[in-house]
Amino acid sequence: MFGLPEQILSAIIGALATFGAEVFSKYAPGKSETKKEADKAVDEVYANLVTQITKGNIKALKILDKEESQSPEQVREKMYPSIFLVGKQEKEFDGEFRYRLEYLRVLGLTYTHSGTEYSLTALGKSFLNRYKREGL
């Protein structure tokens, strides 16, 4: 699944269960949650969830917040515009960004369009707004 090692997938699934899977499952992509509902859901799990999101993942969320949808490659190019990669290096580096976005998807903060592009969910927007308000 997603080309990730079993240990990493287990860790992701464990993190999701720990940080409110039942809350986030109510707000899966395609459901018409309101901003108020998304804010309430994020408030319930924010203290634990924020400790599991790296600064790199926050940068990815901010990029997705500015754009309609992005592929992992596009996110990488915006995060590191001066890096030029070729061949195997590019593929491996882009794999890391796919991993970041999949991790955020499992947490309910992003969703994927046909497996190639990612966008923020309402929960992702609410999480990012709270993160910005707290000035972290």
* Tens-place pLDDT, residues 39-65: 888 889 899 889 989 999 999 999 999
Q: Is pLDDT above 90 for 130?
A: yes
Binned at pLDDT 50, 70 and 90, residue 131 comes out as very high
- For residues 63-92, one letter each, b for 16 or more C-beta atoms within 10 angstroms of the residue's C-beta and e for the rest, the string is bbeeeeebbbbbbbbbeeeeeeeeeeeeee
> Structurally, how many domains does the chain consist of?
1
Residue 26 belongs to domain spanning: 6-133
92 domain residue, yes or no:
yes
Note the pTM of the prediction, 2 decimals. Answer: 0.73
Question: Which residues pair with residue 19 across a beta bridge?
Answer: none
Mean pLDDT of 110-128: 89
pLDDT higher at 31 or 92: 92
pLDDT higher at 45 or 14: 45
Give the chain's length. Answer: 136
Q: Is pLDDT above 70 for 20?
A: no
Q: Please provide the average confidence, as pLDDT, over all residues in the chain.
A: 80
72 domain residue, yes or no:
yes
- To which H or E segment does residue 119 belong? strand 117-120
Q: What is the pLDDT of residue 1?
A: 44
Residue 38 CB burial class (10 angstroms; 0-12, 13-18, ≥19): buried
1 domain residue, yes or no:
no
Q: What is the pLDDT of residue 12?
A: 67
43 domain residue, yes or no:
yes
pLDDT in tens, 77-95: 898 888 887 878 777 777 8
> What is the spatial distance between Cα 112 and Cα 105, in angstroms, rounded to a whole number?
8
| CATH number for the domain harbouring residue 99 | 1.10.10
Q: What is the pLDDT of residue 60?
A: 93
